[in-house]
Structure 1
Amino acid sequence: MKKTLTLISGLLMLLYPLLVYFSLGQVSPSTLAFGLVLLALIRGASAIKTPGMPLQVAILLALAGILYIQGNVAWLRYYPVLINLTMLTVFAYSLWRGPSVIERLARLSEPNLPAAGVAYTRKVTQVWCGFFMLNGSIALWTARFASWDHWTLYNGGIAYLLMGTLMAGEWILRQRIRTKQ
């Protein structure tokens, strides 16, 4: 059941910009607020122990409350900004307090990670921090100044493409480094 909830909540989070876009003018702000509360509950039930998840749930609930009280759907645009800020906070904190987020992930498949691997994962975590800063800044710009079409295009498409490109590029680099060792 928990895996199903995790899958559903992850899919809904990926589709968030598209769901918002296609609900504009079709669904009342109070109904959207109720949807955000449901999403927060599903998200929390599926992965509350994941780093940053309690903050993501709190953000969803805060947005739901603001949306319900003010009835202004423009607040929905700020969710990607806040998620990037959350991820930046989690990744940066892990650099400060250790082990880094990427090191923790690497140790899932390689528990005895050598010192060179730890240094590499630290650098990758720093790159992700830079990504979250840049992506969050662009998401903020689209939230404040772009049309709904452009906001959706960036936050529901281009941002994921950039993230996937970074993941693929890092994987390719990692394979090259491993073959040289």
Structure 2
Amino acid sequence: MRKAAAGALLVLTLLYPLGIYAALDHVAPQWLAGALVLLVLLRAVSTRQSFWYLVAAGAGVLALASWWLGDARAVKLYPVLVNAVLLVVFGWSLRCPPSVVERLARLQTPDLPAAAVAYTARVTALWCGFFVLNGAAAVYTALYCSDAIWALYNGLLAYVAMGGLMAGEWLVRQHVQRRQGGHPAGAAANE
């Protein structure tokens, strides 16, 4: 039951932009903001991951802005918030190792060679760049594009870009591993 609830929350979180798009003309922004906070709080409690507590705090700020302004743009900034929190988490892990990607790699290969540790740091930095670009696109679509374009980018294209980055990194990792004689060279970020 607990896994089913966690899975449902994951799906709802991923479908957030499409749900907001469908509700924008029918539900007041303040209620959408309340639903956002509830969703993120449930996700935080169910996962017990500090990342989601940070997102929940940010979602609370967005909800207050939405309530205060009566404007849906604050609710549409949620993908920006997620990218910002991920950037902070990944960036901080570069300053205070092990990096996020190294931690993920060590789940499969606890004893990573030095070359693999360096590789995971580079992949973590690459993800930081992705979060900057994706967050900038999310800001642009929230502030300057139609609701349909915002939902298309944040509800589909951003996920396609993330999947492309994961697939590309996996291909590069396979090449690096073959070149280094089969030593693990990292893991793609699964966030």
Query: Do they superpose with TM above 0.5?
Result: yes
Runs of 4+ in 1 over 4 A off after TM superposition: none
Partner of 1:67: 66
Partner of 1:144: 143
Q: Distance in 2 between matches of 1:168 and 1:110?
A: 20
What is the DSSP-based 3-state SS (H/G/I as helix, E as strand, rest coil) of the residue aligned with 2:119?
Answer: helix
TM-score after normalising by structure 2: 0.88
1:107-166 CA-partner distances (Å, limit 9, x unpaired): 011111111110110000010011011111111111111111111111111111110000
Structure-to-structure mapping, 1:72-151, within 5 angstroms = 72-151=71-150
| Residues 33 and 62 in structure 2, CA contact (< 8 A), matched pair in contact too | yes
Structure 2 residue runs without a partner (length 5+): 182-191
CA RMSD of aligned residues (A): 1.5
Cα deviation for residue 60 of structure 1 reads: 1.8
**Percent of pairs identical after alignment?**
47
More helix, by proportion: 1
Q: Distance in 1 between matches of 2:5 and 2:93?
A: 27
Query: Which stretch has the larger CA shift, 64-73 or 6-15?
Result: 64-73
Cα deviation for residue 61 of structure 1 reads: 2.0
Q: Distance in 1 between matches of 2:122 and 2:2?
A: 33
| Residues 5 and 45 in structure 1, CA contact (< 8 A), matched pair in contact too | no
